[in-house]
Amino acid sequence: MTRIKICGLSRPQDVEYVNRAGPDWCGFVVNFPKSRRSVTPNQLRALRARLAPNVIPVGVFVDRPVEEVTDLLNCGIISIAQLHGHEDENYVAALREKAPGKEIWRAFQVRTPGDLEDAAAFPADRILLDSGQGTGQAFDWSLLENFPRPYLLAGGLNPENLPAAIRTLRPYGVDLSSGVETGGFKDFTKIQAAVAAAREE
């Protein structure tokens, strides 16, 4: 069964939606003002307090200081750190040193086969293959043929195309944000439909 993450939670009602829908993970974009979904660490703590225990919280970071990420990991506010910037192997090594045993994901923007070579070799626990930072557009999924490691698929996914994506690619997980929004805000009906679609496949 393909797992599912609902990303970009920023309001108390967003947390309530995922509590009701029950995805595997939910994501919080931390200290990235370019994103309208960004939350501060204090806002994250307040939202995390509302989260049901069966949904795993993921912090999404773009080139943030190592200490900021590890503090949130070590105090249990997030269980997983998802990296979306220019973080390299040395950055990941520093995270592992300061937050031993914590899960680290790294996102890769996929445009060419070379991007996938970098993703396949990167020393993260999981990798996420995306079209970009919150563009809402899909990349060329045919590039993923024979990709050698499990991955989460992101970019351009919504409840309508999710079943076909899962049947075609069989990813380890899927990650949705704008595809479960209406008017720029999380939509419970779409979240519920996406989770149901992932469970059915």
The answer on pLDDT for 35 being more than 90 is yes
What percent of the chain has pLDDT above 90? 89
The answer on pLDDT for 89 being more than 80 is yes
The residue-averaged pLDDT of 87-94 equals: 98
Q: For residues 28 and 197, what is the distance between their CA atoms, to the nearest angstrom?
A: 22
Residue recorded with tokens 């519920």: 192
Dihedral, 40, 102, 65, 109 alpha carbons, nearest 10: -90
Give 40-73 pLDDT, tens digit per residue: 999 999 999 999 999 999 999 999 999 999 999 9
pLDDT at 134: 53
The separation between CA 31 and the C-alpha centre of its own chain, rounded to angstroms, equals 15
Give the model's confidence band at 195: pLDDT under 50 very low, under 70 low, under 90 confident, else very high: very high
Domain extent listing, the chain: 3-200
Q: What is the CATH code for 3-200?
A: 3.20.20.70
Q: Which residues are catalytic?
A: 7, 130
pLDDT at 135: 56
Q: Count the helix, strand and coil residues of the chain and give each as a percent rounded to the nearest 5.
A: 35, 20, 40
3-state secondary structure of 103: strand
Instruction: Return the closest-CA partner of residue 175 out of 160, 156, 189, 200.
Output: 156
Instruction: Return the closest-CA partner of residue 36 out of 182, 132, 107, 134.
Output: 134
The residue-averaged pLDDT of 21-31 equals: 98
Q: Chain-wide mean pLDDT for the chain?
A: 95
pLDDT at 117: 94
Q: Establish how many alpha carbons lie within 13 A of residue 154's alpha carbon, considering only the half-sphere containing its beta carbon.
A: 28
The residue-averaged pLDDT of 103-122 equals: 94
In contact, 19 and 48? CB cutoff 8 Å: no
The answer on pLDDT for 133 being more than 60 is no
Give the model's confidence band at 194: pLDDT under 50 very low, under 70 low, under 90 confident, else very high: very high
